[in-house]
Structure 1
Amino acid sequence: MKPDAAQPIAEQFASREQQALAATLGVWIFLGTELMFFGPLFFGYFYGRLHFPQGFADASRHTEVWLGTINTAVLLTSSLFMVLAAEQRKAGNARAATRLLWITAALGIVFLVIKGSEYAIEWREHLFPGPRFALSGAQAGGAEIFFYLYFAMTALHALHLTAGIVLTGVFAVALGRNATRFASGERIELVGLYWHFVDLIWVFLYPILYLVGRSGG
């Protein structure tokens, strides 16, 4: 991450470069701890996929792949706007950065709305694990495990995305109120790292949840 010339140097740092490096390292360590939330779920998925391949494939075919595909496009587009926001802020164009941050947050909200609609469809189709689970037959046990993991992973992702939307909104409001010292390009870029992390998690979730049963699995 390039240091922001407008960002004041804290007294514990010798230079802006050192300060920027420390901030970036801190965020990467934080993201590493966040990955620990998803790690056990990914492990559980691949364990289940290995032991119940047909059940997982059958269950995956019941996911709303077209909604998942739209949401993938939405998140990838939001990452582009986040990058542009950080660049505009570093270039000193606070107004453009504010607009781009709001667009990023709005796309995150669009993702959550679509995901909520998807949950509603799955609720109506009795795909939530439990006594009324719709799938039956020899592969029902594996399919139910799939949906346990599906809802756990996508809900955890949605929680992280919500945090990203709030952070993005906070910086957009700060820039709109001309609090440019707080909403520096450096800090917006760090928020962007978190946003890209959340998007990257979805890039892994999309194929294993939506496509595994549609690729001959």
Structure 2
Amino acid sequence: MTDSRFPASIETIRRVNQDPHRLGHRSHGPSEPIEGAGHGASGPAQKRILVGYGFWIYLLSDIVVFSCFFAAFAVQRSATAGGPTMVDIVDVNRVALQTGVLLLSSYTCMLSFAATNARSRLWTQVFLLATGVLGLSFLVMEFQEFAELVGRGIAPQRSGMLTSFFGLVGLHGLHVTAGGLWLLTMMAQVQVKGFRPEIIHRLLCFNLFWHALDIVWIGVFTIVYLMGVNA
């Protein structure tokens, strides 16, 4: 007599061999896939999950790029070629004001997402606008610093230290500029499309990006400016 359960056992073994760690199934049965897990009968992962992972990978790769620029400045800090040192070019009061402005923009950025969670279009736009104005103020002060240094003959090609200094600070400024353009785009999308799921997810990614820039600037302020002056 043939056991009617035998074909089912063969099917169970086949599924376990295909997914030995049962990543795409619940713990209590191989025939119930977890929705959106990307395994088994549930199909590929949801777009929101893929975009989220992709954006985190981008942020980590960006941190690696900044780390290389930090390392270059650490190596070239004393390579002044007989020219000006960090003590000669740093205006601590202006840099402290820049830092305060950028940190305040991070706070208003956080408030904008809190307003998004409350589904308040008005306050979301108000706090995004405040974030943009503060970011623009930061960029204006940075541009003034660079313009004054170049006017005094302190240009990137003057020494290895200045090359690494302009490169690191300028790279951060380019990121803030890109963040400002992204912010304007998100304000337009919120105004036109409202709080669709994809818009909320983009706002979350923008918040992560802006806060990451603040973290990088704290490193610039500490390592490049404060430690440079003390050295």
TM-score of the aligned structures, taking structure 1 as reference length: 0.77
Higher relative contact order (CA 8 A, sep 6+): 1
SS in 2 for 1:184: helix
| Pair member with larger Rg | 2
Change (3 A) 1:24 1:212: same
Return the alpha-carbon distance in structure 1 between the equivalents of residues 62 and 94 of structure 2: 26
Compared CA separation, residues 102 and 183, structure 1 to 2 (3 A): farther
Match of 1:151 in 2: 166
User: What do residues 16-37 of structure 1 show as CA deviations (whole Å, max 9, x unaligned)?
Assistant: xx77654433221111121232
Task: Could you tell me which runs of 5 or more consecutive residues in structure 1 were left unpaired when the two chains were aligned.
Answer: 1-11, 134-143
Q: 1:23 and 1:90, CA in 2 relative to 1: closer, same or farther beyond 3 A?
A: farther
Residue matched to 1:60:
86
Cα distance, 1:109–1:182 mapped onto 2, change above 3 Å? farther
Q: Which of 29, 48, 59 is the aligned partner of 1:31?
A: 59
User: 1:127 is paired with a residue of what secondary structure?
Assistant: coil
Alpha-carbon spacing, 1:59–1:53, altered in 2? closer, same or farther (3 Å): same
Pairing 1:48–2:48 present: no
Alignment: residue pair count: 189
Partner of 2:212: 197
Matches within 5 A, 1:178-217: 178-181=193-196, 184-215=199-230, 217=231
Change (3 A) 1:95 1:13: farther
Give, in whole Å, the separation in 1 of the partners of 2:156 and 2:175: 23
1-structure distance, mates of 2:212, 2:227: 23
Distance 1:193 1:55, change over 3 A: farther
CA contact (8 A) 2:90 2:229 kept: no
Q: Would you say the 8 A contact 1:171–1:188 is kept in 2? A: yes
Q: Please say if residues 112 and 124 of structure 2, whose CA atoms lie closer than 8 Å, have aligned partners that are also in contact.
A: yes
- Give the structure 1 partner of residue 117 of structure 2: 90
CA-to-partner distance for each residue in 1:39-96, whole Å, 9 max, x for gaps?
22111122234xx38989x611122222211111111001111111111111111110
Secondary structure class of the residue paired with 2:107: helix
Alignment match, 2:130: 103
Identity %: 25
